[in-house]
C-alpha cells in the first residue's frame, strides 16, 4: 500500500505512535509518506520506503493566525496526486481530520476517491476537542472519516459521551517495539545514582495534565523511607515549578531534571519504578514503555491507564491527586524485593500483549477495509 501519514512532528505521544507506525509499515514493504510541518523527531528519512513532505505556511501580514489547515489540505492533495497515495491516515483529530476531509473533497472533484483513517489519541477529544470553539468541526470530521480508531476503550467511551458520533470507533491500542528494550548489557546507572540508591523515573511533556507536582510531593515522602533518586525526563511548562518544589521539600539533590533525551530506553532499563499520576491519559504510552523495560508503574487510575497498568500486578493505580497513596505503594514495592521482582515480570508480560507484531496487523486490516469502502 502507499499510505500518507499526517501527524504532529513533536515529542508528543501521537507523533511518536504515528512515526513508529509509519516506520514499521515501511519495513514491511508499504510506501509511507509523512506530511507534516517539520520532520518528525523520531523519523529516519534515510530508511527505505519512507518519504517526508513538509507543509509550508506562507506568512502574510493580513493574517493574525496562519491558515495551517489550508496549507495542509493542499499539501495532502499534491502529495496524493504526485506520489500515488491510496489512503490518508491522520493522527490527532485537530486539525488533521478536518484538513483530510477537505483534501478528500478536492480529490473527489478530480475523480479520485481517497479514504481517510482518523486515529483519536486523547487530548484531541478529552481536552481540546470538546471545547465549543472546536466541537462542531471535530464531530463533523470524525463522522466523515472512512474509519475511526481510538487508542483505548476509555477514549472510545469519552468520544461517544461528548460527541454525537455516527461512526463505529475501532479500538487499536498503542504498541511497542520490544526489541528496543533488549539491550540490558548497556544497562548501568552510570553517574545517575549514588551507591545503594533506587531509581524512580518519570517521562512526559511536563504539561499541567501530567500533574508533575504530585510526583515531586510523592517522592519527598518516599525519600524519607527509601534511599532513592527521582529522574525526570522531558521538558515543558511545569518544569520550573517542579524544580522549585523539589527545593522547598528539601529533596532537590535527589531530583534530577534531564530534559529531553533520546536515551529513554537506556534510562528506563536501570529504573526500579515509574510514576505517571496524570489527571487524564487516554492510554499512557510512557507507562507501556516503562513496562517494556520491566519497570513496575504507579499511575493514576484516570482514563485508559488501568487498561495498560494492572492494579496489584504490573504496579498500582491510585486516585488522581492521592499523593500519600502513591508514596505508600512506592515504598511498599521498593522495599520488598520479592514483590518487586514479581511485578517486574508481570509488567514485561503485560507489555508483550501490546507488541508491535500483534497491533500492526490491526492497522493494516483497517486500511484494507477503508480501501474496500467498508
- Residues in contact with ligand GMT by CB under 6 A are 12-15, 17, 92, 121-123, 126, 151, 174, 205, 209, 280-285
Q: How far is the CB of 130 from ligand GMT (least distance, A)?
A: 13
Residues belonging to the chain? 374
Nearest residue (CB) to ligand GMT, 209 versus 331: 209
Q: How far is the CB of 46 from ligand GMT (least distance, A)?
A: 25
DSSP E strands, 194-303:
198-203, 228-233, 255-259, 273-276, 297-300
Grid cell of 165 as nine digits: 458520533
Question: Count of CB atoms within 10 A of residue 328's CB?
Answer: 18
Q: How far is the CB of 77 from ligand GMT (least distance, A)?
A: 25
Over the range 231-240, which residues count as b (16 or more CB within 10 Å of their CB) and which as e?
bbbbbbebbe
Q: How far is the CB of 207 from ligand GMT (least distance, A)?
A: 6
Nearest residue (CB) to ligand GMT, 80 versus 151: 151
> Which of 234, 204, 230 is closest to 217 using CA atoms?
230
Backbone angles phi, psi at 200, to 5 degrees: -110, 135
- Burial of residue 121 (CB within 10 Å: 0-12, 13-18, 19+) is buried
Q: How far apart are CA 107 and CA 34, in angstroms?
A: 18
Nearest residue (CB) to ligand GMT, 55 versus 120: 120
Q: How far is the CB of 126 from ligand GMT (least distance, A)?
A: 6
Q: How far is the CB of 297 from ligand GMT (least distance, A)?
A: 13
Nearest residue (CB) to ligand GMT, 14 versus 201: 14
Q: How far apart are CA 127 and CA 243, in angstroms?
A: 26
Nearest residue (CB) to ligand GMT, 16 versus 326: 16
Q: How far apart are CA 284 and CA 203, in angstroms?
A: 10
Nearest residue (CB) to ligand GMT, 97 versus 222: 97
Q: Are 37 and 145 in contact (CB under 8 A)?
A: no
Amino acid at each position: 500500500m502507499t499510505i500518507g501519514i499526517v501527524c504532529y512532528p513533536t515529542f508528543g505521544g501521537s507523533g511518536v505512535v504515528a512515526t513508529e507506525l509509519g516506520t514499521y509499515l515501511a519495513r514491511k514493504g508499504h510506501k509511507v509518506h509523512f506530511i507534516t510541518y517539520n520532520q518528525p523527531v523520531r523519523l529516519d528519512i534515510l530508511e527505505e520506503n519512507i518519504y517526508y513532505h513538509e507543509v509550508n505556511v506562507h506568512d502574510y501580514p493580513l493574517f493574525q493566525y496562519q491558515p495551517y489547515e489550508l496549507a495542509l489540505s493542499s499539501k495532502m492533495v499534491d502529495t496524493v496526486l504526485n506520489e500515488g497515495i491510496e489512503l490518508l491516515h491522520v493522527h490527532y483529530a485537530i486539525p488533521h481530520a478536518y484538513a483530510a476531509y477537505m483534501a478528500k473533497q478536492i480529490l473527489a472533484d478530480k475523480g479520485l476517491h481517497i479514504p481517510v483513517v482518523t486515529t483519536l489519541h486523547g487530548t484531541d477529544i478529552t481536552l481540546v476537542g470538546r471545547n465549543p470553539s472546536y466541537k462542531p468541526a471535530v464531530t463533523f470530521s470524525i463522522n466523515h472519516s472512512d474509519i475511526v480508531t481510538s487508542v483505548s476503550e476509555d477514549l472510545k467511551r469519552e468520544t461517544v459521551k461528548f460527541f454525537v458520533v455516527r461512526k463505529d470507533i475501532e479500538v487499536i491500542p498503542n504498541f511497542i517495539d520490544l526489541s528496543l528494550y533488549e539491550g540490558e548489557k548497556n544497562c548501568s546507572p552510570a553517574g545517575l545514582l549514588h551507591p545503594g540508591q533506587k531509581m524512580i523515573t518519570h517521562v512526559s511533556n511536563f504539561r499541567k495534565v501530567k500533574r508533575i507536582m504530585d510526583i515531586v510531593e510523592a517522592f519527598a515522602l518516599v525519600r524519607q523511607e527509601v534511599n532513592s533518586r527521582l529522574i525526570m525526563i522531558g521538558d515543558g511548562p511545569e518544569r520550573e515549578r517542579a524544580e522549585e518544589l523539589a527545593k522547598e521539600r528539601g529533596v532537590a539533590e535527589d531530583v534530577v531534571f534531564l530534559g529531553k533525551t533520546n536515551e529513554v530506553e537506556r534510562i528506563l532499563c536501570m529504573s526500579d519504578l515509574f510514576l505517571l499520576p496524570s489527571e487524564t491519559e487516554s492510554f499512557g504510552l510512557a507507562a507501556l514503555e516503562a513496562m517494556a523495560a520491566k519497570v513496575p508503574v504507579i499511575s493514576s487510575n484516570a482514563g485508559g491507564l488501568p487498561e495498560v497498568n494492572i492494579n496489584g500486578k504490573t504496579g498500582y493505580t491510585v486516585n488522581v491527586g492521592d499523593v500519600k497513596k502513591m508514596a505508600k505503594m512506592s515504598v511498599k514495592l521498593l522495599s520488598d524485593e520479592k514483590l518487586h521482582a514479581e511485578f517486574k515480570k508481570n509488567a514485561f508480560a503485560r507489555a508483550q500483549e501490546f507488541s508491535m507484531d500483534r497491533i500492526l496487523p490491526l492497522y493494516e486490516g483497517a486500511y484494507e477495509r477503508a480501501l474496500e469502502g467498508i
